[in-house]
Amino acid sequence: MELVDTGLEGLNNMLGGGVPMGSSVLVLGSYGAGKTTLGIHFAYSGLVKGERVAYFSLEERKDSILKASKQYGMDLEPFVEKSLVLMNPGALEFVEMLKMKDNFKRSIEEENVSRVIVDSISIMMMAADSDILRRNILLNLSESLRDLGVTSLLIAETEVGQPYSSREKFAEFVVDGVISLQNIYNDKNGDEVSLIRILKMRFMNHDRRARPYIISDKGIQIMAKSDVFIG
């Protein structure tokens, strides 16, 4: 089985090498946990290997993603329109694209990308007003990605205090993997600790412990060998 480098050494170690090629991985986290940063690592890692990447940013503007990537020392700008397809569709527009499954697949196929990031599916699903519609949109997206054989990161927001499930609570079952990013705050001493945990990764004997990470001017750094004890 071929594995895909996530762009984060610590995460690759936790996974046992990387994510299986062609899989869809859900990245869960509350605001500011580092989901977009993880998306930037994943995109950059593919681009520097000469792969083509599609990044659908439904929330943050393109210039904001590019600015963040530059600050982290993973400048995406030189790749734009060469090998990085960076798009800013509105939620409704993106859902319309997905409804015409064959068109969506053809347009991704034409771009010849091997990695896709959707940031975020939570925004995407706001375009629908019932769980049945939201489920259909997600199934359409996930089937299209599977048919295309691309490796994808689907970013989803969590409610504060519920780090292990997305708001909609069904994406977890559709994807091949689930990774959670979480900030834990201690209001007694002011501490903050960030934890990454692999909740699910089909076909992989992955690390089952939560590991601490920090975000710095290099992006996310995981202390994959550190245990965390929270008293």
Ligand X SMILES: Nc1ncnc2c1ncn2[C@@H]1O[C@H](COP(=O)(O)OP(=O)(O)OP(=O)(O)O)[C@@H](O)[C@H]1O
**Would you tell me which residues interact with Mg ion (CB under 5 A)?**
35-36
Question: Treating both helix axes as pointing N-terminal to C-terminal, what angle do 131-148 and 91-99 enclose, rounded to 10 degrees?
Answer: 60
- Stretch of 13-21, 195-203, 212-220, 223-231 lying at the interface with ligand X (CB under 6 A): 212-220
> Shortest distance, CB of residue 101 to ligand X, whole angstroms?
27
Amino acid at 84: L
DSSP character for 80? Answer: B
Check the CA dihedral 92-37-28-206 and report its sign: positive
Q: Does 73 bind ligand X (CB under 6 A)?
A: no
Q: Which of 6, 23, 37, 57 binds ligand X (CB under 6 A)?
A: 37
How far apart, in whole angstroms, are the C-alpha atoms of residue 30 and residue 155?
A: 11
Restricting to residues 130-169, name those near ligand X by CB under 6 A: 157
Question: Minimal CB distance to Mg ion: which residue?
Answer: 36
Q: Does 34 bind ligand X (CB under 6 A)?
A: yes
> Shortest distance, CB of residue 227 to Mg ion, whole angstroms?
28
Q: Which tokens hold the place of 198?
A: 């692999």
Residue 177 interacting entry, from ligand X, Mg ion, none, C-beta within 5 to 8 Å by type: none
Q: Which of 7, 29, 46, 177 binds ligand X (CB under 6 A)?
A: 29
Q: Does 192 bind ligand X (CB under 6 A)?
A: no
How far apart, in whole angstroms, are the C-alpha atoms of residue 46 and residue 52?
A: 7
DSSP character for 24? Answer: E
Q: Does 33 bind ligand X (CB under 6 A)?
A: yes
Which residues lie below 8 Å from residue 108, measured CB to CB, with a gap of 6+?
54, 116, 144, 148, 150
Amino acid at 171: A
DSSP character for 75? Answer: -
Amino acid at 183: N
Q: Which of 31, 82, 190, 229 binds ligand X (CB under 6 A)?
A: 31
> Shortest distance, CB of residue 99 to ligand X, whole angstroms?
25
Q: Which of 217, 229, 230, 231 binds ligand X (CB under 6 A)?
A: 217
Q: Which of 71, 136, 140, 221 binds ligand X (CB under 6 A)?
A: 71
Instruction: With CA atoms as reference, report the closest residue to 26 among 99, 120, 113.
Output: 120
Q: Which is nearer to ligand X, 71 or 136 (CB)?
A: 71
**Can you give the binding site for ligand X, defined by CB under 6 A?**
29, 31-37, 71, 157, 215-217
